[in-house]
């Protein structure tokens, strides 16, 4: 089982750029890119809460658990 | 493996650079002392004799005793140079922009090992040095000296502490690296 990050979808839905979200959340744009591509080991609850607050969504809108053989 | 953290202050980095240079100078000094003691083993013999209340002037040393003495000196110098080399490496880490890393942790461990070797050589050296000098002693003046003092025990404890600090620091670097992978 792996976790798929749907941050790019939410950013498009809310019409927000990665840079703007990074500034509002207080992390680097590089980390936002890493998060979008799923190349991070994990996300702190604090960061997740801030992202949800800025994008007005729930964690389930951003994160999806999928079997390993399923394409993102 | 580096962990992103703020570099040390400029003053601290300059101090580290100075200590690094001093370490290399000490290495050169140790090597020079080794060469001198090899060329003039009687100077070393007289120094040992003075420390251990042996007769002054000391008896003439044969080739075997001189060779063994030079070997003992060089073994001690190797342990010292090993320690100083890793001290220089540690100071080089602190001089750079990433002071907390696996290299620094490894250097601390190796410094502890170097000091440990020097502590053991210090404890055994007393016995070995006097034994070497005694090989050419006249009959009735041969002796064996065994000694252990609180300084040696203190040094052993300090070595153990340094080694533990190095091991724990390596763990801390690993934890920090893992932590960095969380956004």
Summarised one tens digit per residue, pLDDT across range A8-21 is 999 999 999 999 99
Provide the number of CB pairs (under 8 Å) joining chain A to chain B: 19
Percent of chain A's residues with pLDDT above 70: 94
Chain A residues with CB-CB distance to B177 below 8 A: none
Whether A25 has a pLDDT exceeding 70, the answer reads yes
pLDDT value of position B124: 87
Are A40 and B183 in contact (CB < 8 Å)?
Answer: yes
Distance CA B147, CA B124 (A): 8
| Chain A positions in Cβ-Cβ contact with residue B182 (cut-off 8 Å) | 40-44
Closest approach of chain A CAs to the CA of B94, in angstroms? 26
Cβ within 8 Å, pair A43-B181? no
Residue B130: exposed, middle, or buried by beta-carbon count in 10 A (0-12, 13-18, 19+)? buried
B112 with B160: CB under 8 angstroms? Answer: yes
Residue B132, Cβ density class (10 Å: 0-12 exposed, 13-18 middle, ≥19 buried): buried
Backbone torsions φ then ψ of A5, nearest 5 degrees? -100, 125
For residue A32, which residues of chain B lie inside 8 Å, CB to CB? 183
Q: What average pLDDT is seen over chain B? A: 85
> Of A26-40, B17-31, B52-66, B124-138, where does the model show the most confidence?
B17-31
What pLDDT does residue A60 have?
Answer: 94
Instruction: Name the more confident of A71 and B155.
Output: B155
CA distance B32 to chain A (A): 52
pLDDT (mean) for B14-31: 96
Calpha distance B155→B122 (Å, rounded): 10
Contacts of B183 in chain A (CB under 8 A): 27, 31-32, 34-35, 40, 42-44, 47
What local confidence, expressed as pLDDT, does residue B58 receive?
67
Could you tell me which residue, B124 or B23, shows the higher pLDDT?
B23
**φ/ψ (deg, to 5) at A24:** -70, -35
- Write out residues 13-72 of A within 8 Å (CB-CB) of B: 27, 31-32, 34-35, 40-44, 47
Mean pLDDT within B121-125:
86
Whether pLDDT at B143 is above 80: no
């Amino acid at each position: 089982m792996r976790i798929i990050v749907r941050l790019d979808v939410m950013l498009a839905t809310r019409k927000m750029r990665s840079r703007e979200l990074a500034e509002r959340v207080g992390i680097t744009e590089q980390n936002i890119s890493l998060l979008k591509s799923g190349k991070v080991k994990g996300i702190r609850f604090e960061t997740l809460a801030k992202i949800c607050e800025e994008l007005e969504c729930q964690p389930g809108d951003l994160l999806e658990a999928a079997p390993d053989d399923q394409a993102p | 493996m580096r962990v992103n953290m703020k570099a040390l202050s400029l003053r601290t980095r300059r101090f580290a650079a100075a200590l690094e240079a001093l370490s290399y100078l000490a290495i050169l000094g140790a090597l020079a002392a080794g060469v001198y003691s090899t060329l003039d083993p009687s100077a070393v013999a007289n120094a040992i004799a003075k420390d251990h209340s042996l007769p002054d002037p000391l008896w003439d040393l044969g080739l075997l005793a001189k060779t063994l003495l030079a070997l003992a000196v060089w073994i001690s110098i190797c342990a010292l140079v090993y320690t100083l080399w890793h001290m220089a490496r540690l100071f080089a880490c602190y001089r750079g922009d990433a002071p907390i890393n696996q290299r620094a942790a490894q250097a601390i461990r190796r410094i502890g090992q170097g000091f440990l070797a020097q502590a053991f050589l210090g404890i055994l050296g007393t016995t070995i040095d006097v034994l070497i000098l005694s090989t050419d002693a006249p009959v009735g003046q041969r002796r064996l000296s065994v000694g252990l003092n609180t300084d040696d025990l203190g040094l052993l404890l300090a070595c153990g502490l340094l080694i533990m600090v190095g091991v724990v620091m390596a763990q801390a670097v690993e934890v920090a690296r893992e932590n960095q992978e969380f956004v």
